Amino acid sequence: MSYSSALRASYQQELDAIRAAGLFKEERYIHAPQGAEIEVEFPSGASVKKVINMCANNYLGLSSHPDVIDAARKGLDHRGYGLSSVRFICGTQDIHRELENKLTAFLGTEDTLLFPSCMDANAGVFEAVLNDQDVMISDRLVHASLIDGMRLCKAMTDTYKHSDLAHLEEKLQEHQDKRVRLIITDGVFSMDGDLAKLDTIVELAEKYNAMVLVDDSHASGFIGKTGRGTHEHCGVVGKIDIITTTLGKALGGASGGCVSGRRELVEMCRQRARPYLFSNTVAPVIVSGALKVLDLISRTTERRDKLEENTRYWRKLLTEAGLDIKEGESPIVPVMLYNAKLAQDFARDLFGEGIYAIGFFHPVVPKGQARIRTQLSAAHDKHHLDKAAAAFTKIGKKYEILGLGKKEIIAKYGQ
């Protein structure tokens, strides 16, 4: 069928409906490298504005680090721009294996396989290691890419209520007849910033003979005493069967992901995972940059320590200002507003004050849970956070929500 005017109209109608529902996503153009301060242009708005960035996944501030850029440049000089091949044909260089080995050492696993992204790692891992005699039991709030990966796999799916490990235990009992039980969770959940209780999850896995997969995209590089991830924080290094994670957040922020874990499982991915077999290899420039990132963060914990300090300071500032934040220890700090329109208006006003943060509402978070998600970075200095907190306070005053809790904000603005 051709792209008829009727078909065009029907797509346009669907797009109009998205806009009418207030769910239309518009890109903003950044005229600068990623950092604590960026220049942002709203396509529909006026000029380019310099703002403090409170919404990047640049947790360690390495996205534009001079040493990383320098290493990437050297990679470009010595290994070229691209490989024009998937890994298994003629796309694997010495540096790809070197990076896999470094990731293995950093994560405390047995082996690692690089993917074009963590989305791809999650898309490939399940069908590579499971079959129709198995079950995947996932937390109900896992990342979209894990859900997509599970969809591509023939194993049965089941879920447990978010972080409800009594519920997980029931599910494990229920599925004792399966060949493999795979428990699936995020390490740090991206919307609330809460951590999975991996110590108890590992105990349950041992008790009920199950494997554990953790997506640590929002943790690798900074959660845990030396930044290895949620498994380090929970004292279960070496006990997670499969870790998937991204190079696109704290670890340099370019792109790339991996599956890391038990040797045989990683090898199964090398043999079978379709995004590994059928998508192009990670570019040498990124591999070289990532090698430098791992060097930097293996040598010193300075950056993750600064991030932790910034997080503590930011949480204190917002709490003292009377804003309603989600408790926790991760550098994801949601400011709860409950009402979608309020979240959008609040974010727009913050931008006016030179603070860049995004309002999240349904369907990204549950209905009535609208918020502004702020994210800390080691690239922030105290003066950035002081200025951002002053703006949050000013706008909070404008909407008269300072000192109010959930009930009062909902009473005022509705859900």
Ligand X SMILES: *Cc1c(COP(=O)(O)O)cnc(C)c1O
**294 Rama class: left (phi>0) / alpha (psi -120 to 50) / beta:** alpha
| Residue 330 a catalytic site member | no
368, 341 contact by CB (below 8 A)? no
Q: How far is the CB of 170 from ligand X (least distance, A)?
A: 25
Nearer to ligand X among residue 321 and residue 333 (C-beta): 333
Rounded to an integer, what distance in angstroms lies between the CA atom of residue 194 and that of residue 406?
18
Q: Which region holds residue 328: left if phi is over 0, alpha if psi is between -120 and 50, else beta?
A: left
Stretch that binds ligand X, among 65-73, 116-124, 171-179, 354-362 (CB under 6 A): 116-124
Residue 214 in tokens: 């953790």
Asked whether the bond before 33 is cis by omega within 30 degrees of 0, the reply is no
Residue 329: how many CB atoms within 10 A of its CB? 15
Nearer to ligand X, 344 or 375 (CB): 375
Annotated active-site residue 218? The verdict is: yes
Q: How far apart are CA 202 and CA 225, in angstroms?
A: 19
Binding segment toward ligand X, per CB under 6 A, in 72-80, 123-131, 212-220, 285-293 = 212-220
Q: CA–CA separation, 145 vs 329, rounded Å?
A: 24
Nearest distance, CB of residue 364 and ligand X, angstroms: 12
Residues numbered 117-146 forming contacts with ligand X, rule: CB under 6 A:
117-119, 143, 145
Give the interface segment with ligand X, choosing from 114-122, 205-213, 223-231, 379-387 (CB under 6 A).
114-122
Q: Which of 215, 232, 241, 324 binds ligand X (CB under 6 A)?
A: 215
Instruction: Please pick, among 171, 178, 231, 249, the residue that the annotation labels catalytic.
Output: 249
Strand order in the sheet with 156-160: 111-115, 257-261, 242-246, 211-215, 181-186, 135-139, 156-160
* Chain residues 227-246 in contact with ligand X, contact rule CB under 6 A: 246
Residue 186 neighbours by CB under 8 Å, 6+ apart: 139, 141, 142, 143, 146, 196, 214, 215, 216, 217, 218
**Which residues in 181-210 contact ligand X (CB under 6 A)?**
186, 190
From 190, 217, 288, 377, the catalytic residue:
190
Q: Does 218 bind ligand X (CB under 6 A)?
A: yes
Counting residues that bind ligand X (by CB under 6 A) gives: 13
CB nearer ligand X, residue 186 or residue 308 = 186
Q: Catalytic residue at 63?
A: no
Q: Which residues are known catalytic residues?
A: 190, 218, 249
Summarize as ranges the residues that interact with ligand X (CB under 6 A): 117-119, 143, 145, 186, 190, 215, 217-218, 246, 248, 257
